[in-house]
Structure 1
């Protein structure tokens, strides 16, 4: 079972970003255990996947989510999270922190609810379009991520790019041309023309990314793995 198999946002123009995310989530699967808390879970598309490893899944999100919330706990992640100290064996947060106006509070609270010696896995975009407006506040470089995590008390184990230059470029092209499929009357026809182009670009992007010798610089986003010391 792939992590994003049932994700409602997986579409012909962006499946590459979900394939990349699947690769990282599977890479870190040995960290998922016990009580796994998914901060900013939305529709909880990864619940079944995580329950292959963890004993219990707890989804947390706020009442103003733009998704059909499947949260078990309602909590504003910009404030104190409605969970006790050292509650979680694992914390997951995917494409969430860019939507928080108080990211340091979020990481401080993540540190508080995580058990000592355990892990947080977080993914955020970097070169990505504004989405879910008006709740889209920040983009994070690897240096900004390290600063915020370490300020909260975490030890960073890794910060890895989710693709590099050509993945970034081609995904931007796909999202830009997606706008034309919404043109009245001709949008459906344009989509039929664009789908083969979107597919080809997503197939060749990982191959062309091998030409980039500085992958950290042009990523669509980053995955962070951090431990509570």
Structure 2
């Protein structure tokens, strides 16, 4: 029973559902990411690279021939619960030119100091016409310290990708002003009161965070939406 519950709890952390409203302190930002990735994932086919894959939380959204997770081995960071197929050295992706039919990378670019070089590498290992799905944060707190190097507005990420030989097919902003406001408040409470015990955290979420999540859901569906402040850019692109 406990194993089943833990499996459900872990799944809803990234695959947002009704249960997430009650027990997920990151409901708004994760909902925006999940909906955006789910929209574009079916457009990637063939041999896909999940760059910065970690535990591959969105793997089941992709129906592809080969799904290869690539990540960097970081000293002092446990990779025990991650599903990395191939490690790279932070500079060169260890695949030949024109190898992949597509690439997926979610919430990774902010952790890359030499992003210009890595975008060139991603472009190199993609076949001409290959598709790319990236999610990039704009508003979020520092995390995975000290490996947090930047935030990118939609215009900045569009410019960077186009300069590296990508054609932007769609660029969406996930969440809007009010959702960001409620999510940042919930993040503040999470950082203030949460413990290392999952069961205690679920109880704390129900008492302290769920009410604000519910109020946020109601108000964000009633009041006008402003898109100038948002959590993430979701980019669907193609290698020229």
2:232 is equivalent to residue 218 of structure 1: no
Displacement of 1:25 = 1.6
Question: Which residue in the other structure is 2:11 paired with?
Answer: 6
Give the equivalent residue in structure 1 for 2:5: none
Superposed displacement of residue 15, structure 1: 2.3
For structure 2, the residue ranges without an aligned partner over 5 or more in a row are: 1-8, 16-22
Instruction: Say whether residues 1:203 and 2:213 are aligned partners.
Output: no
User: TM-score, normalised to structure 1's length?
Assistant: 0.85
How many angstroms apart in 2 are the aligned matches of 1:192 and 1:29?
32
Correspondence list, 1:145-184, <5 A: 145-182=157-194
In the alignment, the residues of structure 2 paired with residue 47 and residue 9 of structure 1 have an alpha-carbon distance, to the nearest angstrom, of 11
Aligned-partner Cα distance in 2 for 1:196–1:127: 21
Deviation at residue 39 of structure 1 after TM alignment: 0.1
Determine the C-alpha separation between the residues in 2 that align with 1:20 and 1:7: 13
CA-CA distance at 1:146 after TM superposition: 1.3
How many residue pairs get aligned? The number is: 218
1:181, CA displacement in angstroms? 1.5
For the Cα contact (< 8 Å) 1:180–1:190, is it kept in 2?
Answer: no
Q: SS state of the match for residue 49, structure 2?
A: strand
**Cα RMSD after superposing both structures:** 2.5
8 Å contact kept, 2:186–2:209: no
More displaced 10-residue stretch of structure 1: 9-18 or 108-117: 9-18
Cα drift, residue 69 of structure 1: 2.7
How high is the TM-score relative to the length of structure 2? 0.82
Deviation at 1:19, TM superposition (A): 2.1
- Say if 1:55 and 1:205 are closer, same or farther in 2 by CA, change over 3 A: farther
Cα shift at 1:62? 0.9
